[in-house]
Amino acid sequence: KQEVTQIPAALSVPEGENLVLNCSFTDSAIYNLQWFRQDPGKGLTSLLLIQSSQREQTSGRLNASLDKSSGRSTLYIAASQPGDSATYLCAAAAGGTSYGKLTFGQGTILTVHP
């Protein structure tokens, strides 16, 4: 059974800092790895999706990497802003016949203060 863990559980940084969020998964036979953002009381916003054959994806100030063999993914946020404050979730999509069933981590609550 896939288990996804995110570290740290919470992170508070001053505006402008670069930061790294970590995600680890126990079963390396994933189809892809996705990073989401969730604002309080809201749904999920997809940030980046990395296919299992890829090593990283970039979008603006965000960069996500994937190392399947070690079961790790990181989300790098450059020059953080107060508007980046949210909960960040990673999710691993199952391969094989599970057709991409997602297993989510517990999330990292990010606070960027001015």
Partner 1 sequence: GAVVSQHPSRVICKSGTSVKIECRSLDFQATTMFWYRQFPKKSLMLMATSNEGSKATYEQGVEKDKFLINHASLTLSTLTVTSAHPEDSSFYICSARDWAGLSTREQFFGPGTRLTVL
Residues that bind partner 1 (CB under 8 A): 31-32, 34, 36, 41-46, 49, 51, 89, 91, 93, 99-107
Q: How far apart are alpha carbons 27 and 70 in whole angstroms? A: 10
CB of 34 to partner 1, least distance (A): 8
User: Looking at beta carbons only, is 7 or 78 nearer to partner 1?
Assistant: 7
Which residues on neighbouring strands pair with residue 25, listed in sequence order? Answer: 4
CB of 105 to partner 1, least distance (A): 6
User: Looking at beta carbons only, is 7 or 79 nearer to partner 1?
Assistant: 7
Q: How far apart are alpha carbons 101 and 96 in whole angstroms? A: 10
**Cα separation values, 105 from 3, 76, 112, Å:** 8, 17, 21
Q: How far apart are alpha carbons 60 and 45 in whole angstroms? A: 15
User: Looking at beta carbons only, is 53 or 114 nearer to partner 1?
Assistant: 53
At 95, list the tokens. 């391969």
User: Looking at beta carbons only, is 51 or 70 nearer to partner 1?
Assistant: 51
CB of 17 to partner 1, least distance (A): 24
